[in-house]
Amino acid sequence: MKINRLPAPTWNRLKVNATEVNAVRPNKAAGYEEKLPEGVDKIHGRGIGPLSDVTIKTGLGEEFDKFIEDAGFKPEGYVVSDEEKIETPLYQTFDVKGNDASVALFDYSLSDNAELTVIQIVKDEDNESGVFFVQNKYRLSKGAKLTIVQIQTLSESKEFYNDIGGYVSDDASFNLIQIVLGAKNNYYGANACLAGKNSALNLAVAYSLKNDELLDMNYVADHNGKNSESDIKANGVMQGRANKLFRGTIDFHKGCAGSKGAELEDVLLIDDTIVNKTVPLILCDEEDVEGAHGATIGRPDESFLFYMGSRGIPREEAYELLKRAKIDAVANLIEDEKTKTYIAECLDRA
Amino acid sequence: MSELLSVKGLKAEIEEKEILRGVDLEVGDGEVHVIMGPNGAGKSTLGSVIIGDPRFEVTGGSVFFDGEDITGESPDKISKKGVFLSFQNPIEIPGITLGNFIKTALEMKTGERIKLWDFKKKLKETMEVLQMDPAYAERDLNVGFSGGEKKKAEILQLLMLRPKLAILDETDSGLDVDAVHIVSKGIEEYKKQVGGALMIITHSTKILESLKVDKTHVLVDGEIAVTGDASLIEKINNEGFEQFIRKED
């Protein structure tokens, strides 16, 4: 199947329009530990809440969505009622074990002015070549705010498919924070339909890739509502023979007057053997909009290394400091101190 | 006093342009040396080459520190032996906080993890000496710092890292009177606490007022034109460098 398809294709020879994968069919519902805060109702099955009729597009795309649906697993639904602001995060910890192809599907429905933070930690303690699929879909009513934080520290033998998609009503906002620290093959996609006026997407991803690790991303902000805003940031460090493809699309549809979208990528390249591809895309079918793209891609310069050296910090440690800085810049967006500490511990162990 | 730094016939160039043309210099343990000279004489290059700046190619001579040949060594190795360079224009490093940077440098020096609590306490005390707002420890290194704060951050590193030899490259340049006073206090504190040697590259004498200068060297066109005692500073202040330049001609 083809996943992470660009909303508007470019030259085929660049091989970035979509990614062809041969994913193993999921054969097991993933086990996970959960801490469900008070005020969140959990319901087994898809199609819940006031926007249940809305069709959700996801970042990995239609073929992946069908592939997951055909596997026959049911999602877990979470509902937050009107005006409920849940202060304690919903924690979900996945310990991916063995050679299974396991799957976890979630649906979040937040009613008017409801707020929720979901923290998902994906890790393993073995070196088996398993596959893990996770899909999060969300529907946000007027003024609702959903934050999803994902931290992934899988071993280098695992394959990880991480798919997100949702619908954002008037004055509602979706925040996504992703930290990618492991797995051999990573496929990340997120699509936000900014349907309502003043709807917003804030997306920040930080990654550290080494050896032969792959990270294939597709992030799409679909601006439909007036004065909608999107902000996509990607911070990364690449070493060894790591391979990264970043697709970031800001799509201004007819009628989204007054909308603003920005995407910014900051990649630190440590070795010459890495493969780094970036596809920034701004599509515009509306006149009164602002779209911006910026990228900083390169190696640390000699003046930086000399300054570090003059304080007794050798090249390798200087790179480590920079790597940490890139991850911290995104990790610091997380409000939950426990999660920030967890990330710091993961980085200390790495 | 025993010899700490010994520079012999040091020649260095950058992009095939010779900057140092045979510098000879010896600094004993705990001594204070002042390097003066006209613009473009090679003063900053001398400091950079001693600590192993890879932009420069050493084409002749040697640098010995604490009895070891450090010519051509990497800056991190030279630094670990106890040499510190306070930069004239320290770079800005987004993402790495001043506190985290100093902690990492200290851990590299000692080879041991430092307890965060102990470190923060020591850092706060040292920042107080330099009248630095403790919030600077959490700010990205030199990013958005004023010229004065950047220089204070350099002296803060000097006090925290406690090297055997500190090379101060125009640490007082661009500072107002109050900032020069605070930086001078920091340098005095270094002498008091560590007793290390100082090589002070300067155009001004304000920073030297509270220090006992052992030797003054005048660098002209990549060579030491003359070496004298502290009285040479006064002479230069009154008469300028022209006498030495003419001597060269």
Strand partners, B40: none
Residue A46: its pLDDT value, please? 65
Give one DSSP letter per residue of B222-240, joined into a string: TEEEEEE-THHHHHHHHH-
Residue A43 contacts B, CB cutoff 8 Å: no
Measure A272 CA to nearest chain B CA, in Å: 21
DSSP assignment letter at A85: B
pLDDT of residue B1: 57
Question: Per the structure block, which two tokens stand in for A171?
Answer: 């004055």
Asked if residue A49 has pLDDT above 90, the reply is no
The CATH number covering residue B33 comes to: 3.40.50.300
ipTM of the complex: 0.94
Residue B208 structural domain: 3-248
CB contact at 8 A, B12 and B47: no
What average pLDDT does the segment A127-150 reach?
96
Q: For position B246, what pLDDT does the model report?
A: 53
Q: How far is B14 from chain A (nearest CA, A)?
A: 14
A247 or B172, which is more confident: A247
Residue in A with minimal Cα distance to B50? A310
B150: its two tokens: 């950047």
| pLDDT single digits (tens) A214-231 | 999 999 999 999 999 999
Mark yes or no for CB contact B108/A303 under 8 Å: no
User: Tokens representing A300?
Assistant: 């640390």
Within 8 A of A304 by CB-CB distance, chain B residues are: 91, 93
**Res B24: pLDDT:** 96
pLDDT per residue over A268-324, tens digit each? 999 999 999 999 999 999 999 999 999 888 888 889 999 999 999 999 999 989 899
User: Greater confidence, B70 or A349?
Assistant: B70
Q: Looking at chain B, which residue has its C-alpha nearest residue A326?
A: B95
Report yes or no: A138 and A107 within 8 Å, Cβ to Cβ. Answer: yes
- DSSP 3-state assignment of A309? helix
User: CB distance B95–A329 less than 8 Å?
Assistant: yes
Report the alpha-carbon distance of residue B53 to residue B20 in Å, rounded. 14
User: Are B96 and A310 inside 8 Å of each other by CB?
Assistant: no
The verdict on a CB contact (< 8 Å) between A309 and B74 is: yes
Average of per-residue pLDDT across A9-22: 93
- For chains A and B, CB pairs below 8 A equal 62
> Tell me: the pLDDT tens digits for A148-158?
999 999 999 99
Taking 50 as the pLDDT cut, the residues of chain B under it are: 248-249
pLDDT digits (tens, 9 = 90+) for A164-214: 999 999 999 999 999 999 999 999 999 999 999 999 999 999 999 999 999
Burial (0-12, 13-18, 19+ Cβ within 10 Å), A318? buried
Structural domains counted in chain B: 1
